[in-house]
C-alpha cells in the first residue's frame, strides 16, 4: 500500500479549507461523541424507533456528550439503482440531533456490514455492485487460496468503469455530492465531521483478517490480498495489476508495481465540515520485529520502519483528521502469546501525528463499560507524550450503556474529558446520579425498547 513513495501516497484530494493544525495542549478539553447502532436506519430507509431514539439523544445531551456518529450506508441509500438516493431516514435523524442540541459525525460507509467484530446486522453493498461482482469476481479482493472478500471493491478498480458507466471513485463521489446537496444547510453547523470510508470496516487497509466463515482468528497474522503466487506484492488480479503498473510507470519505477488509493474531488470544500479518515489499530504481533499483521493489512510498519508517518503526512497535507482506534486497550490485558502492544502502537501514532502536525481523534475498538477502560482513554487523550486527542467517539450506544453503573461510568468519563482529564471529585461523582434518575424515571422504557 505504501511502497511507491513515502511522500506521495494519496487517498483523497478532498481539501476542506486549508486547516492549520495546532498541537493539542496538555489537559485540553476533549469532546466526546457516541456511535449510534449500525442499523439506526433500517433496510427500508426508515429511522428505527424514532421516539426511543429521541429519548436516548436527550439522555446523551444531559450527560454532556457533544454529539453522535452514524454510518450512512452506501448499500442502503443507493439500493434502488444507480444515482437513486434515499436519504429520508438520515434526514429525520439529522433534524432530531439538531433539536436535541447535539452535533453529528457521519461516516460515508462504502463497505459491507457483516463478518467483523461488532457487526450486529447485515448490510450488503448496493445491488448494482453485487450484480457486477457476480459477473466478474475479480472486482473484490482475493487471497492466495482463492477466497473472495465481498466487503469492499478492490482499490485496483478505482479508476476503471466497472460499475456500468462509472468508476468506483465516480460512484463514491456521486454519493458524497448527493449527501452534500441534501444536507447542505446542516454542514458545518449540525454535521461537523465527515469520515470517508476507505476499505473494510471503513478503515484504510486491506481485508487481511476477515472473521466471517472462520477465515481468520485472533491473533493470526492474516493473509495478503494477492493472486501472485510469490505473495511478495499486495496485488489484485487483472485490474489491480493494470492500475499498479500504470502508477509505477508514472513514478518511473517500473519494477515496483505497487500503488495506493487515488484522489477524489473536493466535495466538501468550503462547507466548514471536518474530514477524517480511519486507520486500523492492529496491535497484535506489534512486539515482533516484522509486525507481520501490519504488513498483511497494507501498513509497511516494522521495528525499523515507521509505516504510519507517511499516512499522517498525507492526511495533514489535505487537512484530514487522523482517526485511530484501540484507545482503551492496555498491554497487560492482552494474551502473552499474541505479542500485543496496543499502548506501544498508540504511542507511535501519537508521535507521528504530532510530527506531521495532523489532528488525532480516537475510538475504542471493543465495547467496554468499566472504569479501567475509561481511565486508559483519559490517559491516552492527554498530550504528555505526542499528540493529544482532538475528539473521542465512544463505541457504542446500546441497551447496556444505559444500565446504572455503565451509565454512571460514562457520565463521569465525559465530565473528565471535558475538564482535561481531571479526576472528578466526590461531589461530581454523586451528581451523576441525577442523570441516572432522569433516565430511570423518564426514558428507560423507551430506550430499552429501541435498543433491545
The predicted-structure confidence for 318-336, as pLDDT tens digits, reads as follows 999 999 999 999 999 999 9
- In this prediction, residue 452 has a pLDDT band, given cuts at 50, 70 and 90, of low
260 near 234, Cβ under 8 Å?
no
pTM exceeds 0.85 for this model: no
Placement of cell 473472495 in the chain: 148
- Residue 160 φ/ψ region, left for φ over 0, alpha for ψ in the -120 to 50 degree band, beta for the rest: beta
User: Catalytic one among 14, 132, 343, 363?
Assistant: 363
Domains of the chain and CATH, by start = 32-126+170-217+269-419 (3.20.20.80)
Question: Cell digits for 81?
Answer: 439503482
**Residue 79, annotated ligand binder?**
no
What is the average pLDDT score of the chain?
83
What percent of the chain is predicted at pLDDT more than 90? 67
HEC sequence for the chain: CCCCCCCCCCCCCCCCCCCCCCCCCCCCCCCEEEECCCCCECCCCCECCHHHHHHHHHHHHHCCCCEEEEEEEHHHHCCCCCCCCCCHHHHHHHHHHHHCCCEEEEEEECCCECCCCCCCCCECCCHHHHHHHHHCHHHEEEECCCCEEEEEECHHHCCCCCECCECHHHHHHHHHHHHHHHCCCCECCCEEEEEECCCHHHECCCCCCCCHHHCCCCCCCCCCECCCCCCCCCCCHHHHHHHHHHHHHHCCCCCCCCCCCCCCCCCCCCCCCEEEEEECCCCCCCCCCCCHHHHHHCCCCECCECCCHHHHHHHHHCCEEEEECCCCCCHHHCCHHHCCCHHHHHHHHHHHHHHHCCCEEEECCCCCCCHHHHHHHHHHHCCCCCCCEEEEEECCCCHHHHCHHHHHHHHHHHHHHHCCCCCCCHHHHHHHHHHHHHHHHHHHHHHHHHHC
Q: Tell me which range, 203-212, 226-235, 328-337, is most confidently predicted by mean pLDDT.
A: 328-337
44 near 438, Cβ under 8 Å?
no
Rounded CA separation 430/159 (Å): 57
Rounded CA separation 325/116 (Å): 15
301 contact partners, CB below 8 Å, separation of at least 6: 291, 294, 295, 307, 308
Averaged pLDDT for residues 369-375:
95
Question: Cell digits for 215?
Answer: 477465515
Res 245: pLDDT: 65
**Residue 119, annotated ligand binder?**
yes
Res 441: pLDDT: 44
Residues in the chain: 452
**Residue 293, annotated ligand binder?**
no
**Residue 6, annotated ligand binder?**
no
pLDDT digits (tens, 9 = 90+) for 88-124: 999 999 999 999 999 999 999 999 998 677 777 899 9
364 near 409, Cβ under 8 Å?
no
Placement of cell 460499475 in the chain: 163
Rounded CA separation 444/77 (Å): 31
Res 243: pLDDT: 60
Placement of cell 506531521 in the chain: 356
Res 423: pLDDT: 53
Active site residue 98: no
pLDDT at 235 over 50: no
Rounded CA separation 80/82 (Å): 7
4 near 256, Cβ under 8 Å?
yes
Rounded CA separation 13/158 (Å): 14
**Residue 278, annotated ligand binder?**
yes
Res 135: pLDDT: 95
**Residue 312, annotated ligand binder?**
no
Active site residue 223: no
Question: Cell digits for 195?
Answer: 469520515
Question: Cell digits for 58?
Answer: 436527550
Q: How distant, in Å, are the alpha carbons of 8, 30, 271, 334, 356 from that of 27?
A: 34, 9, 29, 28, 21
Res 252: pLDDT: 59
Placement of cell 509505477 in the chain: 248
Averaged pLDDT for residues 180-194:
98
409 near 23, Cβ under 8 Å?
no
Res 6: pLDDT: 34
pLDDT at 420 over 90: no
Averaged pLDDT for residues 442-450:
51
Rounded CA separation 224/372 (Å): 35
φ and ψ at 148, to 5 degrees? -85, 145
**Residue 365, annotated ligand binder?**
yes
User: Catalytic one among 14, 78, 151, 203?
Assistant: 203
Amino acid at each position: 500500500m505504501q511502497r511507491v513513495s513515502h511522500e506521495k501516497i494519496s487517498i483523497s484530494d478532498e481539501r476542506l479549507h486549508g486547516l492549520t493544525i495546532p498541537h493539542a495542549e496538555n489537559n485540553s478539553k476533549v469532546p466526546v461523541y457516541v456511535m449510534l447502532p449500525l442499523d439506526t436506519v433500517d433496510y427500508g430507509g426508515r429511522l428505527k424507533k424514532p421516539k426511543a431514539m429521541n429519548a436516548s439523544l436527550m439522555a446523551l445531551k444531559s450527560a454532556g456528550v457533544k454529539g453522535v456518529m452514524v454510518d450512512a450506508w452506501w448499500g442502503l441509500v443507493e439500493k434502488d439503482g444507480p444515482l437513486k438516493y434515499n436519504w429520508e431516514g438520515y434526514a429525520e435523524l439529522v433534524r432530531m440531533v439538531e433539536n436535541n442540541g447535539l452535533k453529528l459525525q457521519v461516516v460515508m460507509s462504502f463497505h459491507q456490514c457483516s463478518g467483523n467484530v461488532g457487526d450486529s446486522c447485515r448490510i450488503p453493498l448496493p445491488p448494482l455492485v453485487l450484480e457486477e461482482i457476480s459477473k466478474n469476481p475479480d472486482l473484490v479482493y482475493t487471497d492466495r487460496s482463492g477466497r473472495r472478500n465481498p466487503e469492499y471493491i478492490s482499490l485496483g478498480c478505482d479508476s476503471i468503469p466497472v460499475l456500468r458507466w462509472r468508476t468506483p471513485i465516480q460512484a463514491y463521489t456521486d454519493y458524497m455530492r448527493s449527501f452534500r446537496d441534501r444536507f447542505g444547510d446542516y454542514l458545518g453547523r449540525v454535521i461537523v465531521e465527515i469520515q470517508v470510508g476507505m476499505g473494510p470496516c471503513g478503515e484504510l487497509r486491506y481485508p487481511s483478517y476477515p472473521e466471517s466463515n472462520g477465515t481468520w482468528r485472533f491473533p493470526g497474522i492474516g493473509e495478503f490480498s494477492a493472486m501472485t503466487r510469490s505473495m511478495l506484492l499486495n496485488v489484485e488480479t487483472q485490474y489491480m495489476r493494470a492500475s499498479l503498473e500504470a502508477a509505477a510507470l508514472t513514478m518511473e519505477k517500473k519494477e515496483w508495481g505497487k500503488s495506493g488509493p487515488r484522489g477524489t474531488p473536493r466535495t466538501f470544500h468550503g462547507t466548514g465540515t471536518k474530514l477524517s479518515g480511519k486507520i486500523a489499530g492492529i496491535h497484535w504481533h506489534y512486539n515482533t520485529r516484522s509486525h507481520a499483521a501490519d504488513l498483511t493489512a497494507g501498513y509497511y510498519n516494522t521495528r525499523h520502519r515507521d509505516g504510519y508517518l507517511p499516512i499522517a503526512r498525507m492526511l495533514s497535507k489535505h487537512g484530514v483528521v487522523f482517526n485511530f482506534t484501540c484507545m482503551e486497550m492496555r498491554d497487560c490485558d492482552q494474551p502473552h502469546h499474541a505479542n500485543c502492544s496496543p499502548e506501544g502502537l498508540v504511542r507511535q501514532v501519537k508521535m507521528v501525528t504530532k510530527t506531521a502536525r495532523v489532528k488525532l481523534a480516537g475510538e475504542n475498538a471493543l465495547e467496554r463499560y468499566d472504569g479501567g477502560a475509561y481511565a486508559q482513554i483519559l490517559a491516552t487523550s492527554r498530550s504528555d507524550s505526542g499528540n493529544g486527542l482532538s475528539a473521542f467517539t465512544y463505541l457504542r450506544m446500546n441497551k447496556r450503556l444505559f444500565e446504572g453503573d455503565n451509565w454512571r461510568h460514562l457520565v463521569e468519563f465525559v465530565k473528565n474529558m471535558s475538564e482535561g482529564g481531571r479526576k472528578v471529585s466526590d461531589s461530581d461523582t454523586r451528581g451523576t446520579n441525577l442523570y441516572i434518575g432522569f433516565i430511570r424515571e423518564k426514558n428507560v422504557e423507551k430506550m430499552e425498547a429501541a435498543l433491545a
